[in-house]
Structure 1
């Protein structure tokens, strides 16, 4: 994978940490470099949202370490993940740190890269297709459109102090707002946006498990976002798209998505 380097004052070779984007789910959407790293890795440290089919690409002898996180349960704190990556690399092991979507779009890859550099560990970043771009393409909801939107904003919906964040100007006429990790705070998100003046009937699309066989696209007005998430028991990974583009339906692809959703519910 990588030629091991030497670190002054450290006995033995030092491995490289590869921060690899696994994309939105479908293994076919991995970059060639990401696929090669996964197939050749001796150690893969992966998030819980990485599609199992991607992990199945690893060689049988590879060690797979899950550091899955959820809103209510963390297998490992971020500080401990950083320490794990550094410790393995200082022990001479190359590490593939596999992250859903892109490592630098709400993936905390920046923090992991900083921790590695601070410890003298070489780090490389392999970009992946962001979940927002993958979900947009799979659902055929364009994030930008000549008639509807020329500005796109990405925000995290589970950050601390959600009510204190300034989202003014992020949604509205000519704009698309994409919310990551917003299922648990759907009610607060809709209240916040309407409180800032966004109309209750602004269209919303919730894209669940984008690019996967059980993908669903659910639609509602902004005022009905929380009810939509609850009534359909939407699970992560899911993205919320707010704006006029959410009205656009993808023809045959959209019918296929609906058919898959019906099959999943039966």
Structure 2
């Protein structure tokens, strides 16, 4: 651990319990950015927390729900930047829990979708601390919804596979398994691996024209959607300069979402009035 982490842990562990220790901690999913996508239970726990240990993707709006007296500990992990070690995070959570505080471990998305939530719960349990999981809207669901892309669609995709873009099976068999019939693929944290993803899928027999969508800062005010296909996926990824997390959706569902987006953009009051007239005609007696 770094010196600063050791000092912070020392201060946490030295602090006297504020109440009779409850020895329980909530591992809470903060969703993918939009405060309105929080569950009611997550909002309640955050609003009553005495200490929150939070990740990099938790928005300021969500943190603003915490009481002014709440202790906040940032332990975010970001690609290529100095990050807190998992050992430090585990010990910090343990220290907060044994003080008997209303403690919340706040994670972007869902705690157990590439979130190490169960790793932390296991560590706490092995040290006599109970915990509970509060689900959050994971990025695949939140980004797809805000981009208007269905992850499954009748006649197009009957399943969806979530894949981490940082560590995955790169064998031919691994890529072929991802291309099972009528499956949408969603890659988390995969922008930097776009070239490898495209290469692996093409080698496994995917169509070079298979649609791709990059959703940057999904479900947030600064969301950006960039469309591509497997053939130009790597080049497109290199040109994306948006700061923030980027999710990749691969599959024919992207075309469905793109069509919907175009129709939504063309909707006007005139067309809505025409639809009402049509319904009125249908309702007339013969």
Shared topology, TM-score over 0.5?
yes
Residue 63 (str. 1) matches residue 71 (str. 2): yes
- Aligned residue in 2 for 1:8: none
Q: Is the 1:171–1:242 contact (alpha carbons within 8 Å) kept by the matching residues of 2?
A: no
- Aligned residue in 2 for 1:40: 48
1:255 Cα offset (Å): 4.7
SS in structure 2 at match of 1:149:
coil
Moved over 3 A (4+): 252-256
Q: TM-score, with normalisation over the residues of structure 2?
A: 0.80
Cα distance in 2 for partners of 1:73, 1:14 equals 35
- Aligned residue in 2 for 1:227: 235
SS in structure 1 at match of 2:176:
coil
Larger radius of gyration, structure 1 or 2? 2
- What do residues 210-244 of structure 1 show as CA deviations (whole Å, max 9, x unaligned)? 11111011100112112112212144322100000
- Aligned residue in 2 for 1:163: 170
- The answer to which structure has the higher helix fraction is 2
Q: Is the 1:183–1:234 contact (alpha carbons within 8 Å) kept by the matching residues of 2?
A: no
Quick one: structure 1 residues 172 and 20, their matched pair in 2 at CA, closer, same or farther if it must change by over 3 Å?
A: same
45, 54, 58: which one pairs with 2:62? Answer: 54
Cα distance in 1 for partners of 2:72, 2:263 equals 35
Q: TM-score, with normalisation over the residues of structure 1?
A: 0.86
1:182 Cα offset (Å): 0.4
- Aligned residue in 1 for 2:33: 25
Q: Is the 1:23–1:30 contact (alpha carbons within 8 Å) kept by the matching residues of 2?
A: yes
SS in structure 2 at match of 1:133:
helix
Q: Is the 1:68–1:74 contact (alpha carbons within 8 Å) kept by the matching residues of 2?
A: no
- Aligned residue in 2 for 1:128: 136
1:33 Cα offset (Å): 0.5
Q: Is the 2:30–2:137 contact (alpha carbons within 8 Å) kept by the matching residues of 1?
A: yes
Residue 210 (str. 1) matches residue 221 (str. 2): no
Cα distance in 1 for partners of 2:34, 2:216 equals 13
- Aligned residue in 2 for 1:251: 261
Output the aligned Cα RMSD: 1.9
Quick one: structure 1 residues 252 and 60, their matched pair in 2 at CA, closer, same or farther if it must change by over 3 Å?
A: farther
- Aligned residue in 2 for 1:6: none
Cα distance in 1 for partners of 2:185, 2:105 equals 29
Cα distance in 2 for partners of 1:224, 1:25 equals 29
- Aligned residue in 1 for 2:184: 176
1:17 Cα offset (Å): 1.2
SS in structure 1 at match of 2:92:
helix
SS in structure 1 at match of 2:231:
helix
- Segments of structure 2 that go 5 or more residues without pairing to the other structure are 1-19, 267-286
1:169 Cα offset (Å): 2.7
Q: Number of residues paired by the alignment?
A: 244
1:15 Cα offset (Å): 3.1
Cα distance in 2 for partners of 1:92, 1:144 equals 44
Cα distance in 2 for partners of 1:253, 1:138 equals 15
SS in structure 2 at match of 1:44:
strand
